[in-house]
Chains A and B, each alone.
Chain A
Amino acid sequence: MRKAIMTLVALMLMLVPGTAFAQASDGTVTVVHGVPGLTVDVYVNDALTLEDFEYGTVTDPLTLPAADYDIDIRVADADPASDPVLTELVTLPAGANATIQANLDGTGSPKISVWVNDISTTDAGNGRVTVRHTAAAVNVDILANDGVLFGDVANGVEGVADVPAADYNVKVTAVGDPSTVVTEVPALTIPEGTNVIVYAIGDLGAGTFQLAVQSIGGLHTAPGGVPSGTGGDLSTGLPAWLIASVAIAGTAIVAGGTKAIRQRG
């Protein structure tokens, strides 16, 4: 770590549009550690909530009431009263699913980033892939099955796409140069109804570049219908015996009636 850096920026999360979560008074927070070479303690509103948090680790999501939170990050086991390495005031809106990340900016300085995760529903059969460039590295292309999924991605920028649920070969390459591969994931599984969020973290020049992955499931929707018959063999009419006995009954009634009329006449 170079120097303790103090950032006191009130960073507002984007308000979640729509009314789907209007009643929810909670938000969800996940923490991602993307600053290499530093194990930290994380304080929320001056309370230690995450100890000995290591580079490359992603926490489980934590449900918190929607509110403003002071996030302080200190070197592991540092005096809680000491100046934090990083500090940020984060607003968690109701219904939001946010990720708070410590990462390097494009020049290699640590910072706190706040991301709003896309938890809108996915179409039946689809999953979602989110890629976030949070490493000290040049702009990159993100390739899925050798096609450019997100082009010319800079530090601090994310790409989000809904794709059919499947395994994908994912490559991070130099911009416009698919042969210069920075890193490759041979088979990244994008499950149906799940947002798989991949973070590029570390410092490419220093050899600490790697990926961290967060998954948010439960975004699925149901198929529209179940088409399961084109034959028309299913008999939906009246049974043959009923038709036969009604015919016999009818004949008897008609015959009796005719006879009666004849006898009268």
Chain B
Amino acid sequence: MKAAASLIIAGLLLLAGSLATWALTRPVPEAGDPAVFEQALTAPTIPMAPSNPLPGRSETETGTPDPAPDTALPRFTIGAHPLVDNRIPISLRIPALGQNASIIAAGVEQNGDMEVPDNVTEVAWYKYGPAPGEPGSAVLAAHVDLAGQGPGVFFELGTLDPGTVIYVDFDDRSTAAYRTEARAVYGKEALPTEAIFSRQGPPVLTLITCGGDFNRSIRRYDSNVVVYAVPFDNPLPATT
């Protein structure tokens, strides 16, 4: 009787211990505070006040004496708009994952999705958005895996924790360091594209791949894994 009871107790202890260990060590999809990035990248820009309304016509004069017209007037300007030859990202290094991949410029597919080349060893940069370091979200996307090619550059993106250092090399031989800050898993339909492809706001480097559950019949994952990073020395974008 005693032996039977201890066997049951040992079994229960092992079960509880295993489940507790799993609960404590299993990878969690979210890390850091992705909402900070979703907000900072979609915050409306403060519209420029019509600095000085033109004098005259309207009856919205507030009874103040007429301002000196020459100083109060907005004037048309003719700007010189030199072509800016921005640097282009050419490779991405994630030492924590042992990855060093070349970056190619990518646009959009016919159906409006971002183009991600069918090569698991390459990373795609959304060429219509900002380059890394420019205002807004610079998007680097890569396949988590491809049928017939196996795991890709971003196979382990879902394990990148906040505080990981990653590097982007540019065509002018410069390099920028980034610090990961947050990780999120979004259902495909819930991907915050306005934030992820934003061309305004603080400079953010956004890494994207697929994740979640895999549907074998249509060979698609149901989610996107997104890692947000900031220039290494920058603070987090401010919350509003």
Interface centre among A70, A225, A228, A249 (most CB of B within 10 A): A228
Q: For chain B residues 12-28, which have a beta carbon within 8 Å of chain A?
A: 12, 14-15, 17-19, 21-22, 26
B56 touches A45 (CB 8 A): yes
Chain A 42-79 against B: per-residue CB contact (8 Å), 1 yes, 0 no? Answer: 10111111100100011110111101111000000000
Which residue on chain B has the smallest CB distance to residue A232? B214
* A234 on interface, CB distance cutoff 8 Å: yes
B7 touches A124 (CB 8 A): no
Given A59-B78, A223-B193, A242-B22, do A259 and B14 touch, yes or no (CB 8 Å)? no
A171 → chain B closest CB, angstroms: 23
Given A24-B47, A31-B76, A223-B114, do A68 and B146 touch, yes or no (CB 8 Å)? no
Interface residues of A toward B: which range? 35 or more
* B232 on interface, CB distance cutoff 8 Å: no
A116 → chain B closest CB, angstroms: 18
Given A224-B112, A224-B113, do A47 and B14 touch, yes or no (CB 8 Å)? no
* B108 on interface, CB distance cutoff 8 Å: yes
A22 → chain B closest CB, angstroms: 14
B125 → chain A closest CB, angstroms: 12
Chain A 233-247 against B: per-residue CB contact (8 Å), 1 yes, 0 no? Answer: 110101100100110
B4 touches A259 (CB 8 A): yes
* A193 on interface, CB distance cutoff 8 Å: yes
Of B12, B14, B55, B77, the contact of A245 (CB 8 Å cutoff): B14
Chain A residues whose C-beta falls within 8 Å of the C-beta of B21 in the assembled complex: 242
Chain A residues whose C-beta falls within 8 Å of the C-beta of B139 in the assembled complex: 226
Chain A residues whose C-beta falls within 8 Å of the C-beta of B4 in the assembled complex: 256-257, 259-260, 263
Which residue on chain B has the smallest CB distance to residue A227? B113
* B50 on interface, CB distance cutoff 8 Å: yes
* B155 on interface, CB distance cutoff 8 Å: yes
Binds A, one of B94-102, B163-171, B217-225: B217-225
A249 touches B126 (CB 8 A): no
Chain A 109-135 against B: per-residue CB contact (8 Å), 1 yes, 0 no? Answer: 000000000000001110000000000
* A165 on interface, CB distance cutoff 8 Å: yes
B224 touches A260 (CB 8 A): no
B73 touches A47 (CB 8 A): yes
Given A225-B113, A227-B210, A236-B213, do A49 and B74 touch, yes or no (CB 8 Å)? yes
B6 touches A249 (CB 8 A): no
* A192 on interface, CB distance cutoff 8 Å: yes
A193 touches B128 (CB 8 A): yes
B155 → chain A closest CB, angstroms: 7
A26 touches B14 (CB 8 A): no
Interface centre among A46, A57, A252 (most CB of B within 10 A): A252
B118 → chain A closest CB, angstroms: 9
Binds A, one of B85-93, B174-182, B194-202: B194-202
Given A67-B58, A225-B193, do A253 and B12 touch, yes or no (CB 8 Å)? yes
A239 touches B22 (CB 8 A): yes
Of A49, A58, A125, the contact of B128 (CB 8 Å cutoff): A125
B144 → chain A closest CB, angstroms: 4
- Once the chains are docked, how many angstroms separate the CA of A24 from the CA of B224? 36
B144 touches A228 (CB 8 A): yes
- Once the chains are docked, how many angstroms separate the CA of A50 from the CA of B74? 10
Given A229-B210, A230-B220, A234-B214, do A45 and B147 touch, yes or no (CB 8 Å)? no
Given A50-B76, A222-B193, A229-B210, do A65 and B50 touch, yes or no (CB 8 Å)? yes
* B150 on interface, CB distance cutoff 8 Å: yes
Chain A residues whose C-beta falls within 8 Å of the C-beta of B132 in the assembled complex: none
Given A229-B209, A234-B221, A259-B4, do A249 and B11 touch, yes or no (CB 8 Å)? yes
* A255 on interface, CB distance cutoff 8 Å: yes
- Once the chains are docked, how many angstroms separate the CA of A70 from the CA of B114? 47
A62 touches B145 (CB 8 A): no
- Once the chains are docked, how many angstroms separate the CA of A60 from the CA of B77? 6
Chain B residues whose C-beta falls within 8 Å of the C-beta of A69 in the assembled complex: 54, 57
Chain B residues whose C-beta falls within 8 Å of the C-beta of A44 in the assembled complex: 54, 73
Given A45-B55, A45-B57, A57-B78, do A234 and B111 touch, yes or no (CB 8 Å)? no
Chain B 45-88 against A: per-residue CB contact (8 Å), 1 yes, 0 no? Answer: 00110100111111000000000011001111111000000000
Given A60-B78, A229-B143, A238-B22, do A224 and B111 touch, yes or no (CB 8 Å)? yes
Interface centre among A57, A218, A231, A232 (most CB of B within 10 A): A231
Of A165, A232, A242, A253, the contact of B11 (CB 8 Å cutoff): A253
- 6 nearest A-B pairs in the assembled complex, by CB-CB distance: A231-B145, A256-B7, A229-B210, A252-B11, A253-B11, A222-B197
